[in-house]
């Protein structure tokens, strides 16, 4: 064993011995208010949606200010994935997977925008701005009318065109996935 390896091994051993003492002084349980800040997931049935609302008209401006640089004007033609169009292409040789053609739940759109967008500042949009952007994207896909408005009451009721496209196979058994051959 080289002298460098011996030094590294000794350092790791010393750190391992010190860990119980460090653990006593490291961290604390999170408070309910701190947990609430991170508990922002939204489920398909709408559980987890925050109060607020947004319209297609408002969303068009929020999209232009925060989203178009990556996703293109009208949700098409940007440097990142398009968010509009693709309807009827999933069974073709060149499927176009967008919010309108592929996503099964509108609540997933809200959840994703709220947690991960805009790319350069994830989570920076207010709940109202997120509802508005979701409304605008749904409008671009012909799912919500141009005078549409979304909130936590009506967003879960939006029926996406591919809602029935995700059907679990009844014979699926995770235990059989990694059977030895």
pLDDT bracket for residue 150 (50, 70, 90):
very high
What mean pLDDT is reported for the chain? 89
Q: What residues have CB less than 8 Å from 162, skipping those under 6 apart?
A: 90, 101, 102, 103, 104
Q: Does 28 map to a domain?
A: no
Q: Does 125 map to a domain?
A: yes
**pTM, 2 dp:** 0.77
Q: Does 63 map to a domain?
A: yes
Q: Does 2 map to a domain?
A: no
CB atoms within 10 A of CB 137: 27
Q: What is the pLDDT of residues 69-93, one digit of tens each?
A: 999 999 999 999 999 999 999 999 9
Say yes or no to pLDDT of 23 above 70.
Answer: no
> Which domain CATH number covers 106?
1.10.760.10
- Looking at the 3D structure of the chain, how many domains does it have? 1
Q: Does 177 map to a domain?
A: no
Between residues 22 and 110, which one has the greater pLDDT? Answer: 110
The two structure tokens encoding residue 120 = 């350069």
């Amino acid at each position: 064993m080289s002298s460098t390896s011996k030094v590294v091994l000794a350092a790791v051993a010393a750190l391992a011995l010190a860990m119980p003492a460090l653990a006593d002084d490291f961290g604390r349980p999170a408070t309910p208010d701190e947990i609430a800040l991170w508990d922002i997931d939204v489920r398909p049935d709408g559980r987890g949606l925050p109060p607020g609302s947004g319209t297609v008209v408002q969303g068009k401006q929020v999209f232009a200010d925060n989203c178009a640089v990556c996703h293109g004007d009208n949700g098409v033609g940007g440097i990142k994935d398009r968010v509009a169009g693709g309807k009827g292409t999933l069974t073709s040789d060149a499927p176009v997977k967008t919010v309108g053609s592929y996503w099964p739940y509108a609540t997933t759109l809200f959840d994703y925008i709220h947690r991960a967008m805009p790319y350069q500042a994830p989570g920076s949009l207010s709940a109202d701005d997120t509802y508005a952007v979701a409304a605008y994207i749904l409008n671009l896909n012909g799912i919500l009318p141009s005078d549409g408005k979304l909130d936590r009451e009506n967003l879960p009721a939006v029926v996406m065109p591919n809602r029935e496209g995700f059907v679990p196979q009844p014979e699926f058994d995770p235990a059989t996935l990694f059977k030895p051959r």
